Amino acid sequence: MREPILQAKDLRIWYATEQEPVRAVDGVSLDIRPGETLGLVGESGCGKSTLGRALLGLAPDSAGISGQVLYGGRDLNEVTPKEMLAMRGPELGLIFQEPMTRLNPLISVEAHFFETLKAHEPGISKDEMRVRSLEALAGMGIPPTRFGQYPHEFSGGMRQRIMIALTLVLEPKVVVADEPTTALDVIVEAQILGILSDLRKNFDAALLLITHNLGIVAEACDRVAVMYAGRIVEDGEARQVFGEPAHPYTRELLRSIISLQTEGLNYIPGAPPDLVDPPPGCRFHPRCPDAMRVCAEKFPVTVTTDSAQRVECWLHGPEDEIPEGGKEPLAREEIATAEEA
C-alpha cells in the first residue's frame, strides 16, 4: 500500500460565537493516497465542506485550528501564506460547488485560464498558455471554438467541466471536489464522474470527493469516510462499508437511498445536533435505533472491525471500556428527558 500523500491528524476547526464556539470539525483523522478517491459523505451541516477546505489551507481567517494537515511530510497549518499560495494550484486543487458563482461573468473562458496560469507560472508564454488551456478543455469535451466565450453562454454541465479544467490545467497532486455534480442531470453527472475517474488514472492524483449522493460514492470511490457532527464515525473500503456498514448512522443513510426496489421511504428521525452544544456521549445517540446507556454517558472509542473498517461506536466495544449495565437499551423517553435537561 502506498504512503498517504495527504493526512489529517486530530484536526479541529471552530468558529467563535457569542456563546460557545461552533466545533465544525472536532478531532478528525484521515489520509488519502496517490491515485485514490476517498468519498466524504454525511448530512448537511456535519462539517464536510469545512474539512475539505481546511485540508487546502482555505479555512476562514476567523476560524480557530488545531491538529495537523500533513502534505509531503509538511504541516500545512504551519506554512506561511506565501508558501501556501504557491502550493495551491500546482500541488493542491479545489473544484468548487456551483460553478456559476465561481466563474467571473465579466471575462471569457480564455481569460480565466490565462489568469490562472499566469498567477502560478509567471514566465509562461501566451502560446503555451493557449496550448495547455485548450488541451485541458479538450479533455473535458469542450471544443476550441468556445474558448473565447463567456460563462453565461454555457450550460450548467459545461460550466462544471470548465471548473474542472481550470483545476487540472495546473496538474495538482491532490484535488478536493466539493459537490461537483450538484444540480446536474444524471447523464451529465455520469460524464463528470468519468472525467474524475480519468483524473486519477492519468495524473495519479488523490481525490477527495465530497457529496450527499451515496450512489456516486459507490460507483466512483475506493474508500469512504462517513462524517457526523464534526466527527468521522466510520471509514473503510467503499465496497465493505456499503456491504456491511458498521455504524448505525452509515446503515441508516444507506437505508434512506431510493432505488427501483424501494417500497417505502426510510429516513433518520430528528436532525444533526447543534455543534455549539452537542449531546453528551455519542453524538448520534439521540437518533440511533441501537442506542445503549453507555452511548449517552461516554464518548465512543474508535476501533477497527474484523473487516478493517474504523468505526466510532460502542456496539463494537471495546468491552473493557463499557461500564456494567452500559449495554442496556436506551429508551426513547430517556433520550427526550436528557435533551430537555
The predicted-structure confidence for 44-74, as pLDDT tens digits, reads as follows 889 999 999 999 988 888 899 999 999 988 9
Q: DSSP for 128-171? A: HHHHHHHHHHHHTT--GGGTT--GGGS-HHHHHHHHHHHHHTT-
Strands (E), the chain: 6-15, 22-32, 37-41, 63-71, 74-75, 92-95, 174-178, 206-210, 223-228, 231-237, 302-304, 310-312
In a domain, 40, yes or no: yes
**pLDDT tens, position by position, for the chain (341 residues)?**
689 999 999 999 999 888 889 999 999 999 999 999 999 999 988 999 999 999 998 888 889 999 999 998 899 999 998 898 889 888 999 887 776 778 899 999 999 999 999 988 889 999 999 999 999 999 888 999 999 999 999 988 888 889 888 988 988 999 999 888 776 777 777 877 887 787 777 778 899 999 988 888 888 899 999 999 999 999 999 999 999 999 999 999 999 887 777 778 888 999 999 999 999 999 999 999 999 999 999 999 999 998 889 999 999 989 888 888 888 998 765 555 545 44
User: Could you tell me which residues come within 8 angstroms of residue 129 by beta carbon, excluding any fewer than 6 positions away?
Assistant: 113, 114, 117, 118
Residue 171 lies in a domain: yes
> What spatial distance separates the first Cα and last Cα of the chain, rounded to whole Å?
48
Residue 262 lies in a domain: no
State the CATH number of the domain containing residue 169: 3.40.50.300
- Report yes or no on 112 lying in a domain: yes
Instruction: Report in angstroms the alpha-carbon separations of 142 from 13, 77, 145.
Output: 38, 37, 8
- Residue 248, in any domain of the structure: no
pLDDT given for residue 341 in this prediction? 44
pLDDT (0 to 100) of residue 287: 94
Contact 316/246 with Cβ under 8 angstroms? yes
Compute CA distances 15 → 24, 44, 55, 140, whole Å: 8, 17, 17, 38
pLDDT at 282: 95
pTM listed for this prediction: 0.90
Q: Is residue 252 part of a domain?
A: no
Cβ atoms 323, 259 nearer than 8 A: no
**Are 176 and 56 contacting, i.e. CB atoms less than 8 angstroms apart?**
yes
Residue 143 resides in a domain? yes
Helix (H, G, I), strand (E, B) or coil at 329: strand
Q: Among 219, 284, 274, 275, which Cα is nearest to 251's?
A: 284
Q: How many folded domains does the chain comprise?
A: 1
* pLDDT score for 334: 56
Give the structural domain span for 143. Answer: 6-228
* 218 in a structural domain: yes
Q: Is 312 helix (H, G, I), strand (E, B) or coil?
A: strand
